[in-house]
A and B are shown apart, each in its own frame.
Chain A
Amino acid sequence: MCDQTFVAITFGPCDCCGKASPLMNIYIKSEATNYCSFCVEVMATQGLQAGESAASLKKESDSLKKKLEEERAKLSDIELSQVAEKIEVLAPLSIKTRRVLKGHGNKVLCMDWCKDKRRLVSSSQDGKVIVWDAFTLNKEHGVTLPCTWVLACAYAPSGCAVACGGLDNKCSVFPLSLDKNENLNTKKKSVAMHTNYVSGCTFTSSDMQILTSSGDGTCALWDVESGQLLQSFHGHTADVLSLDLAPSETGNTFVSGGCDRKANVWDMRSGQNIQSFECHESDINCVKYYPSGDAFASASDDATCRFYDLRADREVAVYQKDSIIFGASTVDFSLSGRLLFAGYNDYTINAWDVLKGTRVSALFGHENRVSRVRVSPDGTALCSASWDNTLRIWS
């Protein structure tokens, strides 16, 4: 049985308003129709106004959920781990620390690789953002922001700029100059403005747009040159802690995770929330797409990481172990997507076998929480940033 059995028109003209947009398949009086998410909301709110109360609808939705679960059980889905039974078991990885980057004076909160596979940018609690050549351990650039807790930093695809943001509620872009003596603060450009801290930022496919997530519960897309807000994404009911851009062909979606325990998938063009997953029992700290773009993983304070299939619209695997007590703060996939590296608040990094759901290796070495793990663009190394003021390169 192949994945083609999932029949769903996901993009096209809406049966209600006629506009072309991402569609949801719904049943109205037992008839299958395709509505865009906006019309679905309108229809749902109209339903509410027709005399029903929130409580009665909640009851109805709970019973429907139960029915859905029963139906699902009848269809006997095959779990990911079952399909993966035939694949060989992975041997424990022989990964060691190959580099330790020391230089930050306080907790390192975030890092990002450059596309040239050896440079990276990191930001810390004391407001410093440093660009390193990880291979030679050289610090190439350094900027000091006027705020503390720089929670987010990102490298531009061209390698010519970095973006960072945090408690200043802004995201700023710094063009990197070849002149080492130049103060990067002079060319600083304030791009994003939120009403609470900026928790994550990333460039889209070019240097000209950045996507940010914030503690004010929204995500936003900005034009770097003008600082203009291009699109904002509302739907989370609490702080949004992380986001990731989809590596898909049409490159139009991204996923975000937040303190409301939800992971939402958004359409960048329309600003609509296309899909939503609420499976975790606690705040979602990090979300990351699977390399093919058809799935993503999330890390949460409930000490589990979960794997979601976008086309099937459900969670398909949970990565947890009794001996793992502390929350996971960050995840990233290896190049093939077979391994999931997760950094935890108990100072360790665990490598999970994505398909089988088992843990392959545990990496020890950090002396405080691991705040971020990122696999290098060519997949040769893993970089981890930690509250012990250092970054480590593992390979």
Chain B
Amino acid sequence: MTINTLARGGWDREQMACFQKMEKVIVAMQDPDMGMKMRNQRLLITVIPHAMTGRDMITWLIQKYCICEEEALHISGMLVRYGYVYPLKEPRSLVLRPDESPYRFQTPYFWTSTRWPASELDYAIYLAKKNIRKQGELMEYEKERYSVLHKRINHTWDFVVMQAREQLRASKQRRKADRIVLECQEQAYWLINRPQPGAHNVLDMGLERPNNLSARVTLVSDIITFLYVSYVPVPFVKYSEQYQNHDPIMQGCLPSNPWISDDTAYTRVLGHLVLLVPAFAAPVDLVERWSFSFMELLNDIMGRREFMIYLEKEFSAENLCFWQACEDIRHGESSRIVEKVEEIYKNFLTPGAARWVNVDSKTMDKTLKGIRHPHRFVMDDAQMHIYFLMKKDSYPRYLKSDLYKNLLAKAIMNCPTCLFVLSACSPS
């Protein structure tokens, strides 16, 4: 074959890593001690040495990586798809059959990573060889490509035909078994590098990523030493334990997982939870989760509404209104910031205002100064102060209040199955 003189520049680093890993697996498979047992396979009248069956490969993979059969089938399927192993029967179908079908390892000369990118010249020589060897052996799409190449690299066509003839002559001098093997290997290589139109193209890598725009040495963070204390990652365990019963994928959900049971009644409830103002009681799940953290309560629309009702009873609703108004500024349109800040000042911050919020004097001074030049984050300090006020004071009292307790009880009663069964039920 012609020496591939094209540069390797277009090859992405990510693909190289994958191919190297696959090659490691292949090499391990062929290890004389720990590798697979190879045997001779009969193909029509010739005997091909060093072949293995699909079943052998799967068994070896299961043993080596301690995985299940499905995964071993998948991995060996990938090895065939990428051309590291090719089938002897039905060579055009690059699929791994988990039975006695014979397979062989591709020679490293023809590994996709060794000869990247496959050059047009080589492809032309291959097609020319096929054409010369047996007239009409080319498939339709190969014929088309052959004529396209003939037009495109016409100036080297003599070279192409000469190479093809030479290679055919050299191969005639080999033993029949070797010849068949070489033909199979070459065919497998080209099936992957020039797939049939419409067939799955494994070498489709998507968009190129022009990376490493600058070689800036980022020393800043390296020079600094951090205050370091022994680390114990308990918070994640706690969080996951707390939420585990509310995780539908893990524990199932009540009355049923709508995707499995196709229960449209439940989904109508879920589907409009955000868009409508529902008159029904909230599912138990949600109400329980409001007690996990203040953020859960505020992030849920129903929770926020219920909390507002409670605050109105306590005559401290202005805190939540203020917080909501500040959120509106932070995430709202830039054009309306000034007018919204004015509104807030009028309603919440002016001494004697109808809904005056109790912010400490330092924060109040800072905010009032900032209001003279209003921007998106001018209310941040005041908002945080009020947020923590609500979190430390009103929120715990809300959780202990009759309002919340009644809501939770109503939700439990409305649920078709009782709360205690919730934790014991298995996923559907």
- Interface positions of A (Cβ within 8 A of B): 1-3, 5-8, 24-27, 32, 40-41, 44-45, 47-48, 54, 57-58, 60-62, 64-65, 68, 71-72, 75-80, 83-84, 87, 90, 93-95, 98-99, 107, 115-118, 135, 149, 151, 159, 167, 196-197, 204-206, 208-209, 215, 217, 223-226, 228, 230, 237-239, 241, 247-250, 259-260, 269, 276, 282-283, 290-292, 294-295, 301-303, 309, 312-314, 316, 321-323, 325-327, 334-339, 345-348, 354-355, 362, 364, 367-369, 375, 378-382, 387, 393, 395
Contacts and interface: CB of A to CB of B under 8 A. Distances in A.
**Residue among B74, B239, B264 with max Cβ neighbours from chain A (10 Å):** B239
A216 B331 CA distance: 26
A320 to B, nearest CB: 11
A283 B14 CA distance: 8
A25 B78 contact: no
Contacts of B218: 237, 276
A316 B222 contact: no
B405 to A, nearest CB: 24
B380 to A, nearest CB: 8
A345 B348 CA distance: 54
Contacts of B221: 276
B65 interface: yes
Given A99-B259, A208-B331, A338-B244, A355 B231 contact: no
A379 B249 contact: yes
A78 B231 contact: yes
A64 B18 CA distance: 33
A117 B253 CA distance: 14
A316 B239 contact: no
A364 B74 contact: yes
A41 B220 contact: yes
Nearest to B21: A325
A375 B228 contact: no
Contacts of B350: none
Interface string B399-416: 000000000000000000
For chain A, what secondary structure do more than half of its interface residues adopt (helix, strand, loop), or is it mixed? Answer: loop
Contacts of A316: 231, 233
B1 interface: no
Contacts of B376: 230
A338 B248 CA distance: 12
B240 A336 contact: yes
B134 interface: no
B159 to A, nearest CB: 37
Given A27-B224, A283-B14, A364 B271 contact: no
B6 interface: no
A116 B270 CA distance: 7
B74 A48 contact: no
B420 interface: no
Nearest to A395: B259
A42 to B, nearest CB: 10
Nearest to B214: A237
Contact of A64 (B222, B273, B335): B222
B286 to A, nearest CB: 9
B220 A327 contact: no
B398 interface: no
Given A2-B234, A40-B220, A336-B244, A362 B270 contact: no
Contact of B236 (A62, A76, A337, A395): A337
A72 B234 contact: no
Given A117-B271, A260-B211, A354 B240 contact: yes
Interface in B210-242: 210-237, 239-242
B67 A323 contact: yes
A94 to B, nearest CB: 6
B377 interface: yes
- The list of the 5 closest CB pairs from A to B, nearest first, reads A61-B222, A336-B243, A206-B331, A336-B247, A323-B65
Given A282-B14, A326-B18, A335-B247, A205 B327 contact: yes
Nearest to B289: A335
13 contacts: A25-B227, A47-B223, A75-B230, A76-B230, A78-B230, A135-B267, A225-B334, A290-B239, A294-B235, A325-B22, A335-B247, A336-B243, A378-B270
Contacts of A238: 209, 211-213
